[in-house]
Structure 1
Amino acid sequence: MDTPESSGSKLSRKHLVIIVVVLLLGAVGAAFILRGGGSHAEGDGHGHGQESSKAVEAEGDGHGHEETPKGDAKPESDSASKEGAEGGGHDDEKVALTDAQIAAANIEVKDSSSAVIRTSLQLPGEIRFNEDRTAHIVPRAAGVVERVSANLGQRVSKGQVLAVISSSAVSEVRSELQAAQRRRELAQATYERERTLWEQKISPEQDVLQARQALREAEIAQANASQKLKTLGASANASALGTVELRAPFDAVVVEKHIAIGEAVGEDTNVFTLSDLSTVWAEMSVGAGDLSKVLVGERVRVKADAADVVAEGKIAFVGSLIGAQTRTAPARVELSNPKGAWRPGLFVTVEVLTNDNDTASAVTVDSSALQTVEDKLSVFVRVDGGFQARPVRVGRSDGQRVEILDGLKAGEAYAANGSFVVKSEQGKGSATHAH
């Protein structure tokens, strides 16, 4: 039979074991709690909840095998992070724009198509007068200006009087002509009388021959005086002996005027410059390395950005000599100018179409569609809900169309005019996502 002392000893021993077990469980729980708090400090909020719950479960079942569930939870978190990153990268590639926004931004959407691309050589040039239809009016005899009837910028017709000059030299020649005419008339009458007398057997034949010789000499003198007057630019039947009229040689425009009433002018003074502006020349300088591409008869396109005019023509002349200083040769194109849009002195760009091959390129886009995205030449392709930048490899270009060698298929819709707006929207989206 147990004594009270032995019963109390057994009870105290059981209590001691329970206390030790409780303390051990408490220590294990505290360790889990401390470990979970460290994970939270590292920035993984979800991991803290998971560690706390596993610590509680470990306390409940008394096993404390927390390492295995913790290891399983970490890969799931990493996978979720990777999926989120990939999803964000895909959203950045597309520029979201609705149809209404596209229309409001004036973004023109076109389909890539085949076209003939002709490469060109661009040369700077200048519009000049057509020298074949430009006249410098110079008095052929010195004198004093009596009348001026043409003004600067005036259109004149062929034969129209521009000015009248009084010249003593013209007066002398015209007097000589009139005297020669009178002598020829007298010689003509004398010859006819002597011939009649000879036919009637009254005068000898020698008198007839002498009269004929005098007539021929008078005719030569008259012709000589007439030619002198013509050389001076004066007409034979003027009202005054010394007047000479300056007339327009063809239909033209007065582009220069250096004459006034009462002014004394010399026989080498350029008093008027007339030019027929219905045609002009586009002159350019061709480098020695490009002469093989610039040939007479080659098709060209002439553009003037300042006047916003474009015309096509053919090369009419290429110089044979290369300048010693410039190392270039002159060339020119004759252009029709019915409306006067091509003004002499206007700077132009002459595009020599060096490739007349009519073979069409399979895929081409407008030049305005090309944009640089992340240091790559790209085209913004139309997709559902907006546009997407597509890197491309380009080929030939004529300034208006560009050949696409790789990166785009025929028939795909793309942003043409206004593609820079799409690029701007893409930049805004990238900045917002980074923030």
Structure 2
Amino acid sequence: MAMSKQQRAAVVAILVAGLLGGAAILSTGKGGSATGEAGHGQAEHGDEHEHGNEGDNAAAHADASAPAAKPEAEGKPHLIALTPAQIQQAGIGIATAAAAPLRSSVDFPGEIRFNEDRTAHVVPRVAGVAQAVPANLGQQVRKGEVLALLASTTLAEQRSELLAAQKREGLARATYAREKTLWQEKISAEQDYQQARTALEEAQIAVQNARQKLTAIGATENSAGKGGSLNQFALRAPFDGIVVEKHLALGEAVQEATSVFTVSDLSSVWAEFVVSARDLHQVRVGEAVTVRSSASDTQAEGKVSYVGALLGEQTRTAKARVTLANPGMAWRPGLFVTVSVLGAPAQVPVTVTVTADAVQQVDGQSVVFITVPGGFAVQPVKTGRAGGKLVEVTEGLQAGAGYAAANSFILKSELGKASAGHEH
């Protein structure tokens, strides 16, 4: 059915009104969206402002003595803020990176033992019974100091023999003097004079022999007439040292070969270790070594003083030892140690070295904490050879740079705390 002009005009008007209404709706939606985005941006800004205020409040209440790690902009190292007082309190040692000789080393487990050249097993050398035992276990004794007093019938017989020989010598000397005078005055024959001289010489030999017997057992001449006892034997310390073993009690009977005391001079000890056949070429007499205690931070420098010429049948190892001075009694026999035999020094002419304790592992990478204004910064490095307490740094560090040489693990711990807080 054909529409009239009026109907067509009405349809057109309705379509135009609908298009205008849709445009208005679309315009309103865009404006609302823009307003929402702006509001969201303001809300985020407000949140950041609130977080900033919270951070300021937290910083204001934080302990001023606690170290803090601050992540810097991307590409810059992390900074661990520490004051000089905090560095000193934490015991963080600071050193300077520089070229230094590296010495390769081989470690061997060892043990501190008595210096057998300065250790004596004291035996009485005469049978007897203990009358007094003044020496105690662990006591410091001087050379010649009495360790024990023994009553010995054997000693009494030897001293009696000496006294008798001395008496015969005195009589023979008087006879010789009389016969010599008579012979010179032509009263007696020369034969009598010669016999008297021979008797005197024999008496002198007997006295000397009796004295040598007493000297051989370490006894002194003594007599009842001088206020002493013929059977009393004084067992004395052979040198300055410490009584480390005692096997004698008051009233105990001992034989001449019984070891009743062990005295050792602990001012010198041995650090003994065993060397396998494949390592013998690295351990030679005179090689420099470092001995470290397994129970403390004690260490000492020394030289290999002995390497066994034969290998043990069962272990196929050779014994070696280092003679150590022990003035402060730090090295006690029985203490387990690590003996590091140092090789020949190798100079590092171009690269630099740092202490082995300075290198830490952070995220699988070797780092060194270098000194910067306000604290320390993390410096990634590449390491090379290691020798003794030093490590070669091939990349990442220049000579003259200050770094944390001791207790650097404290800085690593603080860095880990900061990283965990930042990820939160």
Give the TM-score normalised by the residue count of structure 2. Answer: 0.75
Q: Partners in 2 of 1:101 and 1:17 — Cα distance?
A: 87
2:130 aligns with one of 145, 153, 171: 145
Which of 147, 155, 161 lines up with 1:170 in the alignment? 155
Cα 1:207–1:385 change in 2 (3 A) is: closer
Contact kept? 1:283, 1:331, Cα under 8 Å: yes
Contact 1:373 1:389 (C-alpha < 8 Å) held by counterparts: no
What does residue range 116-265 of structure 1 map to in structure 2 within 5 Å?
116-238=101-223, 239-265=228-254
Structure 1 position 189, deviation (Å): 2.7
Q: Which residue is 2:53 aligned to? A: none
1:302 to 291, 308, 312: 291
1:17-53 deviations in whole A, cap 9, x for unaligned?
78789999999999x99xx9xxxxxxxx99xx9xxxx
Give the AA of the match of 2:274.
S
Aligned AA (2:354): V
Distance 1:160 1:101 in 2: 56
Gaps of 5+ in 1: 37-44, 50-87
SS of 1:364 mapped into structure 2: strand
Change (3 A) 1:426 1:148: closer
2:102 match: secondary structure: coil
Could you say which residue in structure 2 is the equivalent of 1:378?
367
Inter-CA distance 218–364: structure 2 relative to 1 (3 Å threshold): same
Aligned to 1:71: none
CA contact (8 A) 2:83 2:375 kept: no
Aligned-partner Cα distance in 2 for 1:355–1:361:
19
Further displaced range: 281-290 or 198-207: 198-207
1:391 CA drift (Å): 4.0
Q: Residues 237 and 358 (structure 1 numbering): CA distance in 2 closer, same or farther, change over 3 Å?
A: farther
Query: How far is the alpha carbon of 1:143 from its aligned partner?
Result: 0.8
Relative to structure 1, is the Cα distance of residues 358 and 220 closer, same or farther in structure 2, using a 3 angstrom cutoff?
farther
User: Could you tell me which amino acid in structure 2 is paired with residue 226 of structure 1?
Assistant: R
Classify the secondary structure of the residue corresponding to 1:290: helix
The one of 280, 284, 289 aligned to 2:269: 280
Aligned to 2:78: 95
1:126–1:155: structure 2 CA closer, same or farther, 3 Å change rule?
same
Distance 1:413 1:253, change over 3 A: closer
Coordinate RMSD, CA, aligned: 3.9
Task: Give the corresponding residue for 2:397.
Answer: 408
Whole-angstrom distance in 2 between the partners of 1:184 and 1:312: 60
Distance 1:202 1:103, change over 3 A: closer
The 1-side partners of 2:145 and 2:176 are apart by 42
The separation in 2 between residues aligned to 1:370 and 1:148, in whole angstroms, is: 58
CA gap of 1:250–1:414, structure 2 versus 1, over 3 A, is closer
CA distance in 1, matches of 2:134, 2:378: 68
The one-letter amino acid of 1:206's match is: Q
Q: Is contact 2:381-2:396 (8 Å) kept?
A: yes
Using the alignment, how far apart are the partners of 1:92 and 1:425 within structure 2? 20
Question: Is residue 340 from structure 1 mapped to residue 329 from structure 2 by the alignment?
Answer: yes
Correspondence list, 1:60-71, <5 A: none
- Shift of the alpha carbon at 1:13? 5.2
> SS of the residue aligned with 2:165?
helix
Q: Deviations over 1:352-396 (max 9, x none)?
A: 221234556631223233222333323345679986654432123
Give the aligned length: 380
- What percent of counterpart residues are identical? 52
Calculate the TM-score normalised by the size of structure 1.
0.73
Bigger Rg over Cα: 1
Contact 1:278 1:337 in 2 (8 A): yes
Query: C-alpha separation between the residues in 2 aligned to 1:110 and 1:252?
Result: 42
Q: Deviations over 1:146-196 (max 9, x none)?
A: 222322222222222222211111111222222222222223333333333
Alignment check: 8 A CA contact 1:115 1:361 kept: no
**How many angstroms apart in 2 are the aligned matches of 1:147 and 1:371?**
63
Tell which deviates more after alignment, 285-294 or 264-273.
285-294
Is this contact kept in 2: 1:254–1:275, CA < 8 A?
A: yes
Q: Which residue of 1 aligns with 2:352?
A: 363
Most deviating of 331-340 and 104-113: 104-113
Give the Cα separation in 2 of the matches to 1:250 and 1:227. Answer: 22
Q: Report the Cα distance in structure 2 between the residues aligned to 1:244 and 1:418, rounded to whole angstroms.
A: 60
SS of 2:78 mapped into structure 1: strand
Alignment pair present for 1:331 and 2:314: no
CA displacement at 1:421 relative to structure 2: 4.5
Contact 1:314 1:334 (C-alpha < 8 Å) held by counterparts: yes
Distance 2:261 2:212 in 1: 24
Matches of 2:101 and 2:237, distance apart in 1: 48
Cα distance in 2 between the residues matched to 1:383 and 1:349: 37
Deviation at 1:330, TM superposition (A): 1.7
CA distance in 2, matches of 1:19, 1:102: 85
* Preserved contact between residue 151 and residue 232 of structure 2 (Cα < 8 Å): yes
Q: Which amino acid aligns with 2:101?
A: V
Q: Which amino acid aligns with 1:232?
A: I
Contact 1:279 1:336 in 2 (8 A): yes
C-alpha distance after superposition, 1:319-372 (max 9, x if no partner): 211222222222222222222222222222222221234556631223233222
TM-aligned CA distance change 1:160 to 1:432, over 3 Å: closer
